[in-house]
Each structure stands twice: as structure tokens, then as C-alpha cells.
Chains A and B, each alone.
Chain A
């Protein structure tokens, strides 16, 4: 029945009218009979029917009943696709043009066969074709039969989000392919979760927790450090031979450098003169190249240091260089630079100056680099001056001094300043505000704390809050707590803090600007005011306000 229109159409379009035609139609008819029979048996089973409905509609939309999808040459591949292919592919396979092509090629074939006047062949060919078609038909039917549900979902899925691709590609992609895959255009394909539900850490909590952290790899890290320590003599030899040393790899190398300094010192203690060692912490935010040079100059010149060093780093460096030239030192000066690629030193200017320091005779530099791409900082002439030999010193040590963890994470999340002020910040801002504002804040805090004490919240809420609050050491506290805007205004008016709502809002705006209060709408549309502080902090601030 489904087959009928397609074949008839094909029949009509046959360009040749030879006696054979009769036979051909006969075969077609024969085929059709079989198909019909087949369909009939199929129709007998209900599951079959269920499956065929969506499919039919699909055919109607996609191919407008022009052609039977089964007419393409049945290969194993087609079998495979019907099993595993994505829905889009399935549709593509049965696009009209493709099917027509298949149709035409079949026609062409039959025409050619007719022209060759070989009856048997014609018969065989047609027969074979029919057989193949039937075979495929029953196969795909069987496949569909096996998992009708899957079929269903696939079909419905097709009209939905075609672009829904998972962020991780299937299988192993080479790195560059992965890069392009992940960077293709389109909207971000990540979930809409955000961190509002999560309590972020404060500095205090972070350090408190960290102190109790037990490192599972402590002994391995110690061992790693020990391995690196064995290279101390090698590094010293390299430094002696006018190379400078650069240590790289993951993990803080600050301790290692410190130990190297100790080692250098202890090794030379037998000599009368102790080695001059200068340690630079490149990660210190306010470090300047000039201060580094000045310190080196101080170490070299000692008491002979001129009172005025000059404000430019180059001036100091030249002073240093001429001093080294005029009075040959017995021992070289060792400069140990922690994190030479840290942001304060990272700029090209700073690196150029450091390279000149490193190229100065009698000055040996051992630097450490943390970022993976530090090599990009130096062009060929800098490399020449630095004359580094590189050693992999992966330590896995924590960047304790180098990184301000909480600050970095908050700035990464774009939440800088949200809690950064904390108690001290709020106190600081309050000090600079007029009396009225301080009174208003005091009022707000008093109200909030009384609310906490009286237990305005329901029992469960409070319990949950308390439990969690205890667990997180009071970081959460009053996050959800708030006083209604009107109520606070009335109280403020009673205490002569604000005479008009206008004025009241002006005061609040000041708090808003410094992120000292939070405001949100509750379910009834009333504005609720709160403070982003924990209870302890609130009490602390209130205390300061009252005492002041």
C-alpha cells in the first residue's frame, strides 16, 4: 500500500514502451503483492502498527509520499545507520532528492537492461532488486520492532534542539581538534547553576580550615624536595661557570630556594667571608626593580653606599656595575629571585632590567618561575643576557606566600568586594560617615540582632540555620535575615535619624555603595534590608559603634 504510489510513478515515467513493459509491470505487481502480504502480516501485530504511525507521518512531511525510503541500495551500512544513527542522519538519508536519485538509477538500470534485450537478465535484475528491497524492509522493520521506544524518542527529539551538543566530544580527539570543538561558536552550553547557594569562604575561615588540613602526600613531597636538594652542588657549579639558573615546574619553590641559601651559607662558613646572598620575592605586590637593585648595591657597597642612589633603576644598576668594576669582589653576589614571572616583575621593562643584572659579572642569579609559559617573557637578546640553564623543580608545595587564595578566587568569580570588607571594612567606612549614618547603621544592626535573639524565624529554619551555622563557624549567620524597609524607616524617624524618606534613602544609598547592606524583595513585594555580615561580625561592629 505504501509502496504503491512510488512504483506507479516510476512506471509512468518509464521512457520506453516495449513489449517488455508488460513483463515489468508484472514483476512490479508481483513485488507489490508480496509487499502487501508482508504489510498485512505486519499489521496483524499491534506493536508493528504503533511503530509505523510516526514513521508514516515522517514520510509524509519529509518526502511527500514521493518515494519509498527503502529503494536505496541496501548495504550493510544502511543497516548500521538504521540501528545507531542520529535522528538527523536518518532524515537526511530519506530526503527526496536522494531517494529520487536512487529511483532514477534503478530506472536507468532497468532501461539499460531492456535495451540489451536480455529477458532473463531483466527478470533476474528486477527480481534481485525486489528481493533486496524486501529484505531491507523487513530488516528495518525488525530493528524498529526491537526498540520502539528509542525510535519514538529519536523522532520527537529531531524537531527540538538540533544544536544540543555535549561539551565533551566523544572519543579521543587530538588536542587541536578538541580546542576547536570546544571553541566553536554558539551560546555557552553550561548549566545555569550559580554559587548563590554556596557560602563562600572568608580569609579567616580559609586559614582556620587549612591549619587542620592533613596532606595525604606529605612524605612524597618531602622526598621530592630531597631529590631537588641533591642538586644544590650542581646548581652552584653552574652558577660558578657563569650560567644563571632557572627553576620551573609546578609548586612553590620558595622553600627550596631558602634551603639553597642556607646550604650556600653553611658550605662557605669555613671561609672567613660569608657569601652575599640577596633574596627577592617577586610576588610581593609592591616590589620594584629599583628596590632590588638598591638592595644588591647595599650588599655590595656596605658602608660606602652613597646617600643618594638615584630614582631610576638604571641609575642604580650602573652604580652597581661601576662599583663591581672598580673593586673586585672575592666572592660573587648571589641573587635568588622567587617567582621571576610573578605579575609585579612580569612586565617587559622589568625583565629587561633583571636580565642586565643577571648579565653583570660577579652577579649570579637563581630564579624560579611558576607559570607554564614563562619562556615567552624573554626574547633572544634577553635570553642571551640571562644565560639560563633550566631545571625542572616540581615540588607540589603550596603557594602559601605567593598566592592570596581567597582574594584570587573571589576576583576570579567577579565577587571581589562582596565580603572582602568584612567587619573591618564596614567599621572603616562607618568611621568616615556622618553621625546620622552611623546611627542608622547601629539601628539596623540592633534590630537584626534582636530579631536573631528573639527567633523571628520559624523553629525549623532556626534549627537548620543554627546547625549549619555552627558547622561553618558562623560564616553564614545573617545572610537571609532582614528587616522590612518601612519598619526600619519608622524606627529611624522615631529616633530622629532621618526626617524624611528622601533623606533615609540617601543614607541607605551610601551603605549600598559600600556594599554594607543587602536588599531584596520578599514574596509580598516588600523590600527587606539586611547586612552581609555574620552574627559575630555584626556584634563586633555594633560594639565599636556604641563604644565610639
Chain B
């Protein structure tokens, strides 16, 4: 053991030295070292991973490393292709959502000047709420707009850039000049100036620059204006207003709480220097819905995220304060994991590398649960087919691709149905509230079939008047006509009927309240209510027929479309539904992990030998884990001496004769220092040689 350590140390003396260096550029391991001399660990990595990768692709061959390079590459390129398509759509949506605010802000910037505001600083107050990233998008677009037109530029500073007035000004000046000139240009600007050299925070520099460039608008952005020190803000504002005649400032304040709170922090004299407008980057809730819809319900979509993922993503969105970027990233990550870890995704590519059919891939297909249940179902009447599937790789691939295509079509129909339901509830004003996410989750879990929601919709059709139905059909037709030919026919009939209809009132079916008559009869001292149809004109009867047809059509449409996606053959390929990586990757339970590692270390240290270590405390556990468990048993205040005695009792009991007190003390030191670094204990002044506990397990 002893010699091992020395060898290990001897191998890389220069690298150990680097541990104490704060920051350094990585130097590759020495080439001179022959293979035989390499540390065993390093060799392990080579054999495991380094040789196992495919050139130019970050993906690893799956299926025990037996996947061929072509499929790996295929998965990667398909991922790239899929996500770039989705990303384009998302960016378009974001751009569109932003554009309204952008237009109003930029028109504000362009039209206002100190003169229009009688020498106050023109100020745009932008409340961003949780949507922090929207502001940076807005700013970069505003900046590019202003710089291309040569009117000026945008300088954004954060509270971190402004500890004091000097640094704030320095950063503003440098930011403004480098924005157009680049950092070299800034240096040149400083040195080329005639006259006495000015200090970096002199606004004279900026006014010089403004004059030279003929800048008309200099937008100064304080991104997190609430985080700025109030005193600094006051100084900065008064300074800016005094330079306003020489530098055309326009102030843009990012506010995450509310304008009132922001205003209350400043004295009235400072507020009086500002005048402007309030802009609101509206909350991104519906933006997220739109993004989700764009990804899921697109006509060319080939991959869907399942209800688990959807639920997890939307839960995080509603429960946490998040920007839409985080939302998008979560979706992106699920795409990434799907292609990275699922060898079957090679089948999603436009051109599958089918010849020669990869045997491992086919084996993998045959092990997929949905394939198995498909075969079992098939076995009852067509065992020949099953045999063929199991034996002929080429046939299997061909069949499965067929199935994937079919499955994809069905998935598309499901997501369409979600859209249909959305439009439905909007047009017919169903009171039940259902967001895209809600309906999608239920649709993707196969819950919507025969659900009250759908039944309500069908019921609403019967009661709808002709105008509503007409509107509904015309907006739905584009989506579902391709799939169901009866809808256009019904629509045509309805239109024809409406042409003949002359009345001011829209037509109502006989199911509508207005067309039923309630008769009250008194029979044997009891009141009897009977509903009966009023005498109906011919039009209404015809209309009712149409409504009936429509109702039946929709009913069959919903029953056929809203199937359970998990029943589709090969759904594993085009449906990603593991919420596990997403949750852990984006919302780590770091404290839980640390506590678990320390309280039950053998969860992690899986024994390579056969004997399973018990749960009880023993010297076999890492020292820090032992100390932590003792620590858990102690009160808020811990006597270190007692802790130490308990600690060594564990070792004493375990090691018997070989027991070495100083060694145990060494381990105790190590463990205690680690607990301190992890922030679990801190010094206590209450009593000598005591420490206080600062974390409770499970809290």
C-alpha cells in the first residue's frame, strides 16, 4: 500500500505541483512516458472510452459498444437535423413575441429627446418579471438596429459592474466606445486624443466620442436597476442629467419588481430628473405554450416527448421562476438524451443504413417491449409472420420502419387533436379551463378518450348555433380535412343551408334550450314536467341533421385519434418519455445527495467483493461518513472531545489489537475538516471545544 502511494506520487510530480496553482493552461500528459509506465487508471480510460468513440461525433457506440460507426453518426446527424428544425421554429416564436416590445421601445428611443421632455433624461422603464432573458434579446436587437443605422448604440451595465461611481462610469464609457470601435479602437481612441490625457471615468471622453461619431442616441441600460446601490444611482443620475446637453443619453431601466418599488427607493430630486414611459415585457406563459405546441403539433414532427416529460417540464415552469430559455433547454435536453442513449433512434434518420442490416440493431429491436407485445398479439393468427420477423433482419427492418411511419402519423393526429380541442373550447366557450399543457399531458397519456372534457365538447356541438359551428368548422377544416373526408362534406351542407337561411337569428338545433318546450301538467296533485319539442320549422330539422352528423363525425374522430401512444408499435423510437434525467439534471438535489453519501456510504461504494457490508457503523466506512453519522445523533451543540471518543470507539471496537490511536486521530481530523468545509459544522463560542451543528438531516 505504502509503496503504491509513493509510486503514484512519483509518476506525476509536476502535476501535483499544479494543484496549488490557482489557474493554469492544461498541459497534456508527457508523451515520453511509454505505455508500460502509464498509471493503471489512465490506461483504463483509454480502453474504455477513448478508443471507443467515433471520429468527429460526440456520441458513443451503444449496445455494449457493438453499434457500428455509421449508426452512431446517423443518430448524431439526425439529432442535429431534428433539433435545428425545432430551434428555428422556437427562435421565430421568440422573435415574434419580442417584436412588439422591441418596436415600442425602439420607437420610444428614436422619438424622444431631452428637448421633448424638458431636459429630463428620457427613460424607458422595462419591467421584465421572471423573463430575464427577454431583456438581453431585446437589447441586442435594439443595439444592432441602432448601430447599423449609425444612430448610436446600447451600453448595458449590471450592478456587478458598478461598485462605485468611478467603475460605473469607466464601464459605461468603455462599453459605449468598444461597442462600435472594438477594444483596439478603444485603446486607439484613448491614445490618439489631442490634449491632456483624461482619466478613464471622465465623461468628457464619451462626449468627445459622441461628437466625433455624430451619435444621436446613446442608450444606457441598467439591467438590474434594483440591485444598484441607491446612493450610486442618485449620483449617477445627477451626473448623467448634467451631461445631457452634450451626450444624448436615453436611459433604459430593467425592473424586476414594480415601478412603484423602484421609484420609492430614490429621492424625489432624482426621480424628477427622469421622465419616460413604462414598458412591460409580458409574461411568457403563453409563449411557452406556443413553443410547446410548435414542437409537438407540427406537421413534420417526427419525435414527441411523452406525458411524463411534458408534466415535468410544465411543473417546473409553473413552480419555479424560470425564463423561457430554461424551458427550451429542458426540451432540448430531452431530445439530446433520446438520441444519445437510444440506439434505435438510428431508425429515425431519413435514410437508414439498412444494407447490410446491422444484426445488433435488429437484436435490439426484437428486445423492445412494444415489439414483443406486438409479436405476441400477432402470434394468435399469424405465426408465420412472427417467425419471419424474428429470423429475417431485412424484413424486420422494413416492417418496423413501416410501423414507425404509421406510429408517427398517429402521433401527429394526437397532437392535432389537442389543437382541435383547444380551438373547440375557444370557439364554443366551454367553461372548463384547459391549457395546452393540460390537454397534451392527458392526450399523451391516453387519458382523453371518453373523458368528461371530450364529452363536454361533443355535448356543446349539439347546442351550438349555426354561426358558431360555421366558424368552428372553417377554422378546423384546415387541420382535419385531410384526415377525415366527411368534415368538408358536412361543412358544404352547412354552408348550403345557411345560404337559404334568411332569418336574423342563427339557426339552433332541436337540442338547444330554445327549441324545447317544457310542459307543466298537474296529474294527481303532482306537478309533472315534460320536455317536448316545439314545433320546428324545416330549417331547424335540417340543421339538426347536420349537427347530428357532425356530432357523430367528431365522436368517431376523437375515438380513433385519441389512442394511447404507449400502445403503438415501436413507440420507443419516436416517443421520449423518461422524466428521470430531466429532473436530476436540471434540479439537482445536491443536499440530499451529500447526506445520502455520508449517511449510507455503501449506496455509492458498491462492494466489489461478495460480502455485503451491513448498515451498522464500522471502521470499514469512510471516516467522514462515520463522523457524520455520529454527528447526526448529537444535539445542536457538540462536544468535540466526546465526538472524538465516540469516533475512536468505533475504530477501537473494529480493529482490536491493530488499533492505532494517532492514526484514528488523523482520520478524525480529516473527517472533521471535511464536515467543516461542507458547511455542516461551525465554531461555537458557547463552550470551549464545542462546535455547533448547522444542518439537520432531511430538512
Contacts and interface: CB of A to CB of B under 8 A. Distances in A.
Contact of B683 (A248, A270, A414): A414
B11 to A, nearest CB: 13
A220 B620 CA distance: 12
A404 to B, nearest CB: 8
Given A263-B49, A315-B174, A211 B5 contact: yes
Contact of B586 (A192, A288, A389): A389
Contacts of A201: 662, 665-666, 669
B326 interface: yes
Would you list the 8 A-B pairs with minimal beta carbon distance, nearest first? A167-B635, A175-B698, A287-B22, A277-B26, A220-B605, A390-B588, A408-B673, A401-B19
Contacts of A168: 633-635
A402 B323 CA distance: 35
Given A249-B594, A312-B167, A375-B590, A195 B640 contact: yes
A267 B60 CA distance: 12
Given A193-B639, A353-B160, A403 B674 contact: yes
A232 B50 CA distance: 9
A23 interface: no
A386 B189 CA distance: 33
Contact of B588 (A281, A375, A402): A375
A298 B21 CA distance: 16
Given A392-B584, A401-B19, A314 B161 contact: yes
A188 interface: yes
Contact of B183 (A198, A234, A237, A318): A318
B329 interface: yes
Interface string A218-247: 011111111001101110111011010010
Contact of A411 (B5, B158, B683): B683
Contact of A216 (B619, B682, B696): B619
B593 A394 contact: yes
Contact of B25 (A179, A229, A298): A298
Contacts of B669: 201, 206, 405-406, 409
Contacts of A322: 178, 182-183
7 contacts: A229-B49, A266-B28, A280-B23, A371-B678, A375-B590, A390-B584, A401-B20
B340 A284 contact: no
A97 interface: no
Contact of B620 (A217, A267, A336): A217
A280 B19 CA distance: 9
Contact of B29 (A178, A212, A262, A411): A262
Given A211-B2, A408-B676, A232 B49 contact: yes
A521 interface: no
Given A175-B699, A295-B24, 8 more contacts: A167-B634, A223-B608, A238-B336, A240-B58, A284-B20, A411-B683, A412-B673, A471-B661
Interface stretch (A37-45, A53-61, A139-147, A253-261): A253-261
Contacts of B28: 262, 265-266, 274
Nearest to A168: B633
Interface in B646-699: 661-663, 665-667, 669-670, 672-674, 676-683, 685-691, 693, 695-699
B326 to A, nearest CB: 7
Interface of A: 167-168, 174-176, 178-179, 182-183, 188-195, 197-198, 201, 205-206, 209-214, 216-217, 219-226, 229-230, 232-234, 236-238, 240-241, 243, 246, 248-251, 254, 258-259, 261-263, 265-267, 270, 274, 276-281, 284, 286-288, 291-292, 295, 298-299, 306, 312, 314-315, 318-319, 322-323, 326, 336, 348-349, 352-353, 369-375, 380-381, 383-384, 387, 389-392, 394, 396, 398-406, 408-409, 411-414, 471-473
Given A267-B50, A278-B25, A409-B676, A243 B608 contact: no
B678 A233 contact: no
Contacts of B663: 209, 212-213
Given A394-B604, A411-B683, A413-B683, A248 B18 contact: no
Contact of A384 (B161, B325, B674): B325
Interface string B586-606: 101011011101100100111
A295 B26 CA distance: 11
B59 A237 contact: yes
A224 B41 CA distance: 12
Nearest to A338: B19
B653 to A, nearest CB: 15
Contact of A250 (B2, B594, B681): B594
